[in-house]
Chain A
Amino acid sequence: MTTTLVLRRIGYSAFFAVILAFFAIPMLWLASAPFDSRPGLGLRWPDWTLDNVAATFDHPYALTSLVNSLVLCGLAMVVTTVLAACAAYALSRVRIPGRDVLLYVLLLLSSVVTGTAAMVPIFVMMYQLGLINSQYGTALVIAGGMLPAAIFILKDFVDAVPRSYEESARVFGASPRQILLHVVLPIARPGIATIVVWSFVQAWGNFLLPFLLLRDITSQPAAVLMRTLYDEGGSANLTVIPVFSLLYSIPVVVLYLFVSRRYGFRFHGGIKS
């Protein structure tokens, strides 16, 4: 009995070790390769140097692309969060016939609208609007694609805020603005924090839309620029790619930590009665 048990434990441990390594090794590479004098695709103990960092900073487009990414994703995030919050509140509080059907259809179409299938019409439309190479135009398209899902998620949060909270504030004389600022927003805050991080991460990793809509390399975000980082021979530019990847991953982590610390993802909900 003990032998089978021990064997089973060993089997489990080995299995999970492989899975762990599968996810951990790229992370370790991301931590070590940027500071290795001869970075490769393999994982090894680096001989420390900052030459790669200097090379990346000298790259004509690397830093601009990161700034572009911040602008693009910041815009998309703000548009998504503000509009989704308003829409979710309205949809949660106003009874209109076919509301749920509308939400599901929106959700379904959103994967089509900004999906690969719609790329040609979107490109044509943006071209005719003169919004090719425009950060704002691209941010709007990205936000448009994220809105239905964001509304869907936020509506669930707002639904969980009992109406009696608002009515109570109303009886005490609160104006609609005060009700929004004192009651609804603070209670729905974890939901909004979720949407902020989620929409930013979605936009940050989006490749196809900015690749198609931002043709000028000076306006391209990091996710798109990454693909141009090759040397003249056509092989990957391993001096720049590791450092660039590391820089590329930082904003998302920082945003998550900041939002999580400051606003928290926990949810007050209603008080159990």
Chain B
Amino acid sequence: MAQIKTAGLSTVYPNGVRAVDALDLEIADGEFFALLGPSGCGKTTLLRTIAGLEQASEGTVTIGDKDMTATDPGRRKVAMVFQDYALFPHMTVAENIAYPLKVRRHPKPRQREVAERTAASLSLGGLLERRPGQLSGGQQQRVALARAVAVDADVLLLDEPLSNLDARLRLEARTFLKRLQKELGITTVFVTHDQAEALALADRIAVMESGRIRQLGTPREVFGRPADTFVANFIGSTPMNLLDGTVTDRGLAVAGAILPSPTDLPDNTMVTVGVRPEYLALEPGGQGITGTVSTVENLGVSSLVTLECPDGSLLGLTVREQHEPAIGSEVTAAPDPGRVLLYDKESGALLSS
């Protein structure tokens, strides 16, 4: 068990790309930590730098209390699950799980015993003699996890652990992974491009873009108060509404409507108004943004309704099933109190209110 600390960490590829850029990060002991971002944002490189598979160009990586920046991957006491699981196709499940012990030259019976015990705890009991090629995707993923936890590593690193599973299985594996992590209490860092996965699993999330962390916080913070428009756009299964607005003396002018201003910014400040579709409700005759219903998308228990506002901007809101307005009708949507966020028009940063 150990915490991970990076200080001024940069990883620069030979072609000059700064995949990780001067990163300061602290991951607490036992924490389930997500690195979230679009592809190419440097999240996998950061994970690989923590593992030691990429050489840090500047800065340090500390695991536990030891500076591991120049340490060989095999001596960092980290375990890693790769995106393709990297199970050895010529070894059986038991041999795969016991491989870390074989490397450390543990006696054969001990290898077997650990493989059996680990496999049993990950419900792989009857599969020990199979080869990875004979397993389903979910079983392969569990074998990879079993191999990672078979040795007592301080840190568990997961690179897109769920992305190779089909949608249904992914949900099961997600629950399984979260329970396993809580049971083991091992410091876990996982990389994902799927915001729903990060929100569901992580204790804390770091949202990354071009090698830097855009926001660091609990899933609730990141979802409820995105630090900038990039994060606001990225997080949430339905994208956040980001509309141009102006602060006036009567309130916040946005999409042809005036909302109560949540801020004391000077008048005539141009802002980007952010509000999640989930935090908007239909308010017949109330104070809100009025628009014509242009599309209704069924999301199961709710529907995503898109309004076309008088000034041409589009506003999405979710409505409970059976409460969808008719297409073409004119409705008014009001944001929940305290859920309207203002972003700087230039920098996209959240303006505190």
Residues of A within 8 A of B (CB): 162, 164-165, 167-175, 178, 182-183, 186-187, 189, 268-273
Whether B137 lies near A273 (C-beta < 8 A) is: yes
Most chain B Cβ neighbours within 10 Å, of A162, A173, A187, A269: A173
Shortest Cβ gap from A96 to chain B (Å): 12
Q: Which of A162, A170, A189 contacts B84 (CB 8 A)?
A: A162
Q: Which residue of B lies closest to A172 (CB)?
A: B100
Given A162-B84, A271-B132, A273-B85, 6 further pairs, Cβ under 8 A: A169-B99, A171-B73, A172-B79, A173-B104, A189-B90, A268-B89
| B89 pairs with A269, CB closer than 8 A | yes
Q: Which residues of A contact B151 (CB under 8 A)?
A: 172
User: Which of A162, A169, A172, A182 has the most chain B CB atoms inside 10 A of its CB?
Assistant: A172
Residues of B within 8 A of A269 (CB): 89
Contacts A273-B137, A273-B164 given; indicate if A174 touches B86 (C-beta within 8 A). no
Closest B residue to A187 using CB positions:
B90
Q: Does B82 contact A (CB under 8 A)?
A: yes
The secondary structure that dominates the A interface is helix
- Which listed residue, B87, B99, B100, B102, touches A271 by the CB 8 Å rule? B87
B78 at the interface (CB under 8 A from A): yes
Chain A proximity of B49: nearest CB distance (Å): 13
A174 touches B103 (CB 8 A): yes
Q: A172 and B90: CB pair below 8 A?
A: no
Instruction: List A contacts of B187 (CB < 8 A).
Output: none
Q: List the A residue with the shortest CB-CB distance to B135.
A: A271
Contacts of B100 in A (CB 8 A): 172-173
Cα–Cα, bound, A189→B100 (Å)? 22
Contact A271 B84 (CB under 8 A): yes
The 3 closest A-B CB pairs, nearest first, are A173-B74, A168-B86, A164-B86
Determine whether the beta carbon of B133 is less than 8 Å from that of A268: yes
Q: Does B140 contact A (CB under 8 A)?
A: yes
User: Which residue on chain A has the smallest CB distance to residue B95?
Assistant: A182
Closest to B140 in A: A271
A residues in contact with B83, CB < 8 Å: 164
The answer, yes or no, to whether B323 is at the interface (CB within 8 Å) is no
A contact residues around B82 at 8 Å (CB) = 164, 167-168
Contacts A174-B74, A268-B133; A167 near B86 (Cβ below 8 A): yes
CB distance from A165 to the nearest CB of B (A): 5
CA distance A264 to B52 in the complex (A): 36
Q: Is the CB of B53 within 8 A of A170?
A: yes
Residues of A within 8 A of B90 (CB): 186-187, 189, 268
Chain B residue nearest to A272 in the complex (CB): B133
Question: B residues within 8 A CB of A182?
Answer: 88, 99, 102-103
CB-CB < 8 A to A189: which residues of B? 90
Question: B162-176: which have CB < 8 Å to A?
Answer: 164
